[in-house]
Amino acid sequence: MKRGVDMSLMLIVIAIVGSLIAVLPAFFVFLYIARFKGSMWLSALLGGVFWLVALLARTPILLVLELWGLTIPPSFYVLFITIVIFMSALLAGLFEEGIKYGFLKKFPNFVKTVKHALCFGLGWGLSEALLIYVVTVLTYGFLYEWLITIITLPPESSLYFSFILGAFERNIAIVYHVSATILIALAVWHRRFLFAFLAILTHFLFDFIPIMLLQFVLYPLLDQFIIGILAECLFAIFAIIFLVLSYWLLKREGGPPEIEVKPPPEDKTQVKLDV
């Protein structure tokens, strides 16, 4: 009994530590950039709101895919998994970057500077970390003993590693979301859809290639511990590549165009008097 209590307490502790690891680094970066500027806090808040909008918008399609999977015979399992991974990655790119581009094109003031764009991307990634990771691990941590009575869950000891690994993965994902937001901002600033398309493409590649490599190449060969580490390494490599790409494009294309300040019009009604 004592061992069970100790393991449950350890799961709670690791869930809390993982949650802090997942959100604090990006949140501190956001605080450093935004300070007390309300417009940057608003950009971050809207980034979070529209991440949720993008998630809800594509969820019905993902549910249809899952229902379709119930009718797939076992002989087509590999094909079905490939289609699901492909469609999930494609929908993530189209909906997240597409909605982001559509909103910011309509309201460019929320990325009026590079710092505003960074805040928007940080808000986007932090919302994903909070709602996808933090809520999940804290629920598992605090309600594990109850949840295991109604659904099948992995042993507590196997969740320790998953929680910590997932926390680092959230940081990697936030780095990518910032990179993608810079690309979208470039599309808005310079009125070139090519940058938005590049954001959609990189998002698709970020979600598709590492998962395909894990699912069909590494899973049959390696144990779960090594696969978990390799997975995060793959995601980190892609995130760094896309971060360097977005930074290079930002330096090459420049930030938002300077607003030309025109002198006030000459008052033609003024009467010139001869002295």
| Residue 6 buriedness (CB in 10 A; 0-12 / 13-18 / 19+) | exposed
Least Cα distance to 140 among 8, 44, 5, 230 occurs for 8
For residue 28, the model assigns a pLDDT of 98
| Cα–Cα distance for residue pair 124/112, rounded to 1 Å | 17
- Compute the distance between CA of residue 140 and CA of residue 9 in angstroms, rounded to an integer: 12
pLDDT at 194: 96
Per-residue model confidence as pLDDT tens digits over 151-193? 888 777 778 888 999 999 999 999 999 999 999 999 999 999 9
Helices marked H in 148-216 — which ranges?
156-190, 193-213
pLDDT attached to residue 146: 86
Instruction: State the burial class of residue 193 (Cβ atoms within 10 Å of its Cβ: 0-12, 13-18, 19+).
Output: exposed
pTM across the whole model: 0.88
pLDDT of residue 207: 92
- Positions of the chain with pLDDT lower than 70, given as ranges: 1-6, 217-223, 258-275
CA distance 8 to 14: 10
The candidate with the shortest Cα–Cα distance to 252, out of 244, 261, 264, 260, is 244
Q: Where are the domains of the chain?
A: 2-253
| Contact present, 243 and 179 (Cβ < 8 Å) | yes
Q: Which of 54, 191, 173 is nearest to 121 (CA)?
A: 173
Measured at the alpha carbon of residue 23, what is the angle toward residues 17 and 27, in degrees to the nearest 5? 135
Residue type, 25: P
Tell me what pLDDT residue 2 has: 52
Three-class HEC string of 104-121: HHHCHHHHCCHHHHHHHH
Q: How far apart are CA 244 and CA 261, in angstroms?
A: 33
pLDDT at 275: 41
Distance CA 230, CA 227 (A): 5
Residue 250 CA to residue 235 CA, distance in Å, equals 22
